[in-house]
Amino acid sequence: MNPVLLIQLTENDKRIIFALCIVIILLFVIIGLLGSLVVRTMKWQGKKCDSLVSDVVTNRIITTPHQLRKYAAVKNSRCFLKQAWIPLVLMIVATLIIVIRDAVMNNWAYNPFNIDNGFGSLLFVWKLTYNNPEEYTIIFGVKILAKWVLVNEPHFVVEALSSYIAVPLAVVGVLWYLVAAQAYLARTIRSWKLSKTVFEKSLDNYNQNAPQQPENSEPVQ
């Protein structure tokens, strides 16, 4: 007999399994909603490509998919430059601040995120040390990690002032740049789709053998 079939679940075990299933389903649903949000955002960002190429397409200056992809690539890259220069400047400024700080303090191994004299000093930081027996607990006879030790509480350090300025600038710059890169990706995908659909010739609902009505024919009453 298969030992799996021999397992007899108690009522408590069934409840736990049911709760776990619901949690997993909810997790996937939340991920699905977030993904749908990203897809909608990218579709909205891709609409910008329509406005960039619509004039030359509607005036029949561009007549082939290759021309459309080439023109859209140039226009998209220009649009990306206009969107990305501010976050790039923010990142460059943050880098310069850290470099100047390292040059003044003559410490090129400085980590701006550390908890001693970096940006981490403003954050709660928990850590697993693995060596502390107080972190472990026993569940069903198994010894597992169950507790994280708080190693830092928010406190102000004057030496970390440069990192307090540079790290937020860098984080904002990186996120902003990623949004601009996502828009660039969305416009590129949209231009590929447009190059296939704009010049599409469809024969749906067309039958060459169907009787054609002569022009200027009066409707039969």
Partner 1 sequence: MVNLLKTFGKGILYIIGFPFFIVALVVFGVVGIFLFIFHLFKSIIYFFTGQKFFPELAEDKELRLKQEAANAANNPQPVFDQDPAEQNESNPAPMIQEVKFDEEPPYEKPIYQEPKYRPLYEEPTFDEPVQEEQVKEEPIMEEAQEAPLVEETSLEQEENDEDILSELTRDEPEQSIDTSSVKEEPIEEPLEEYIPKGSTYIDEIEEDDTNTGGVDIDYDVR
29 in contact with partner 1 (CB under 8 A): yes
Separation of CA 80 from chain center: 17
* H or E element that contains 44: helix 11-58
Q: Does 35 bind partner 1 (CB under 8 A)?
A: yes
Task: Tell whether residue 175 is a contact of partner 1 (CB under 8 A).
Answer: no
Out of 28, 44, 124, 148, the residue judged to bind partner 1 by CB under 8 A? 28
AA letter at 58: T
Q: How far apart are CA 157 and CA 151, in angstroms?
A: 16
Per the structure block, which two tokens stand in for 167? Answer: 């790290």
Query: Which one, 28 or 148, has the nearer CB to partner 1?
Result: 28
Asked whether the beta carbons of 90 and 173 are under 8 A apart, the reply is yes
Output the six-digit token pair for 36.
């749908």
Minimum CB separation of residue 48 from partner 1 in Å reads 15
Selected from 77, 107, 129, 137, the binder of partner 1 by CB under 8 A is 77
CA-nearest of 196, 199, 194, 198 to 46 is 194
Closer residue to partner 1, CB minimum distance, 52 or 160: 52
Nearest to partner 1 of 56, 157 (CB atom): 56
* Site for partner 1 contains 191 (CB under 8 A): no
- The stretch among 15-23, 57-65, 143-151, 153-161 that binds partner 1 (CB under 8 A) is 57-65
Q: Which of 101, 187 has the CB closer to partner 1?
A: 187
Judged by CB under 8 A, which of 71, 94, 97, 167 binds partner 1?
71
Question: Judged by CB under 8 A, which of 86, 125, 165, 185 binds partner 1?
Answer: 185
Cβ proximity of 92 and 132 under 8 Å: no
Q: Is 129 helix (H, G, I), strand (E, B) or coil?
A: coil
DSSP three-state, residue 138: strand
188 binds partner 1 (CB under 8 A): yes
Please state whether beta strands 149-152 and 136-139 pair in parallel, antiparallel, or not at all (unpaired): unpaired
Nearest alpha carbon to residue 126 among 145, 160, 164, 153: 153
Cβ proximity to partner 1, 90 vs 160, nearer residue: 90
Judged by the rule CB under 8 A, the positions of this chain that interact with partner 1 are 25, 27-36, 38, 55-56, 59, 61-62, 67, 71, 74, 77-78, 80-81, 84-85, 88, 177-178, 180-182, 184-185, 188
